[in-house]
């Protein structure tokens, strides 16, 4: 037995909002607020809309200071790194991007970033690399107000230098099991269906999900400013000697390995970076299997948010 619908579906209008509806909803909320009850709101203002629909319209479109389109390179990077860190928790990702809505970010990810990050249809990308009329069109329409005025044919995110810095935010949710391991598992499951262009028949394929796990240690309460180094495959320690939790030998048995370079870690097993790396390393060919040692450095400086954590994970560095 399903739950009762939140509104009388037969008597609510669906589809695009008219300017009149927008104005009515906007002016009411600006004067009176939502009243804490979206379900009752449409009746109060005489809109034949579902309360949830009103909420969505307000949050995604009418709310002040909403930005649409024109994702900057920095925003793209934040979205990508957060997606890698926490998966498709769009509302959390949106919280890191002022003026952006989860829906907007989700659409942006699904239509642009995912394709790019996961290397989908790399062939298409290569075709478009020299000339991308669609993107040029979108830019004309104001879709891209991004700072990357250089190389219009390429997307700015791809134009990052070989040593690419992506801001990586860890907030309190990252130390919460619900948000870390759980979401990563979810991400993991999703990615298990993804074929990456660089590992189709490469030796790394066996390491791709479902064995992929991200070490809980990364999400644990690593003291601010501490750096991480490994001591052996049995333990990972912070440089102050405190053992990190939940990273045992089984982690390494699943195809993961850490090697040390003073305070830097080479993190193998992050196969899902292959798509990204293939985009960063322009020389990688679709048919080639990917070799970490040939990959340019990829640096993820962990920036503390609020009272958060900081560390550095450098991938592919020797």
Partner DNA sequence: AACTGAACCAACCGCCCCGTT
Partner DNA sequence: CAACGGGGCGGTTGGTTCAGT
Confirm or reject binding of residue 130 to DNA (CB under 7 A). Answer: no
Q: How many helices (H) and strands (E) does the chain have?
A: 14, 8
Bridging pattern class, strands 236-238 and 228-230: antiparallel
In the complex, the smallest distance separating the C-beta of residue 244 from DNA, rounded to whole angstroms, is 26
Q: Which of 13, 26, 129, 233 binds DNA (CB under 7 A)?
A: 13
Nearer to DNA, 37 or 287 (CB): 37
Q: Which of 163, 76, 151, 118 is nearest to 278 (CA)?
A: 118
Bridging pattern class, strands 164-165 and 312-315: unpaired
Using CB under 7 A as the binding rule, the residues of this chain from 253 to 272 that contact DNA are none
In the complex, the smallest distance separating the C-beta of residue 99 from DNA, rounded to whole angstroms, is 13
In the complex, the smallest distance separating the C-beta of residue 49 from DNA, rounded to whole angstroms, is 7
Q: Which of 76, 81, 97, 112 binds DNA (CB under 7 A)?
A: 112
Alpha carbon distance 46, 40 (integer Å)? 10
In the complex, the smallest distance separating the C-beta of residue 197 from DNA, rounded to whole angstroms, is 15
Using CB under 7 A as the binding rule, the residues of this chain from 48 to 107 that contact DNA are 49-53, 55-57, 60-61, 68-69, 88-92, 102-104, 106-107
Alpha carbon distance 131, 35 (integer Å)? 50
In the complex, the smallest distance separating the C-beta of residue 228 from DNA, rounded to whole angstroms, is 28
Alpha carbon distance 147, 72 (integer Å)? 6
Alpha carbon distance 93, 31 (integer Å)? 29
Sequence-ordered list of residues with C-beta below 8 angstroms from that of 13, at least 6 positions apart, any chain: 47, 48, 49
Residues near DNA (CB under 7 A): 2-4, 6, 9, 13-17, 34, 36-39, 49-53, 55-57, 60-61, 68-69, 88-92, 102-104, 106-108, 110-112, 115, 121, 124, 133-135, 137-138, 141, 143, 186, 190
């Amino acid at each position: 037995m399903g739950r009762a619908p939140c509104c009388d579906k037969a008597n609510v209008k669906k589809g695009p909002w008219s300017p009149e509806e927008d104005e009515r909803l906007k002016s009411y909320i600006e004067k009176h607020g939502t009243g804490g009850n979206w379900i009752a709101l449409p009746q109060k203002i005489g809109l034949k809309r579902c309360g949830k629909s009103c909420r969505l319209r307000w949050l995604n479109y009418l709310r002040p200071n909403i930005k649409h389109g024109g994702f900057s390179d920095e925003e793209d990077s934040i979205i990508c790194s957060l997606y890698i860190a926490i998966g498709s928790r769009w509302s959390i990702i949106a919280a890191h991007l002022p003026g952006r809505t989860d829906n907007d970010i989700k659409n942006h990810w699904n239509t642009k970033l995912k394709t790019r990050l996961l290397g989908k249809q790399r062939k298409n990308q290569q075709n478009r690399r020299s000339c991308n009329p669609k993107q040029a069109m979108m830019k004309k329409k104001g879709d891209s107000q991004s700072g990357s005025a250089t190389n219009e044919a390429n997307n700015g995110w791809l134009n990052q230098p070989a040593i690419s810095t992506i801001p990586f935010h860890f907030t309190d949710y990252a130390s919460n099991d619900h948000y870390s391991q759980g979401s990563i598992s979810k991400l993991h499951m999703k990615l298990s269906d993804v074929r990456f262009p660089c590992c189709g028949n490469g030796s790394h394929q066996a390491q791709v999900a479902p064995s992929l796990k991200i070490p809980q240690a990364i999400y644990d309460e690593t003291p601010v400013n501490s750096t991480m180094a490994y001591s052996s495959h049995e333990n990972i320690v912070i440089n102050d000697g405190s053992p990190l939790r939940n990273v045992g030998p089984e982690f390494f048995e699943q195809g993961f390995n850490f090697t040390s370079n003073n305070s830097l870690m080479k993190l193998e097993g992050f196969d899902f970076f292959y798509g990204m790396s293939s985009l960063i390393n322009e020389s990688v060919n679709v048919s080639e299997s990917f070799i970490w040692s040939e990959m340019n450095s990829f640096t993820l400086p962990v920036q503390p948010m609020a009272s958060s954590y900081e560390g550095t994970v450098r991938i592919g560095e020797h």
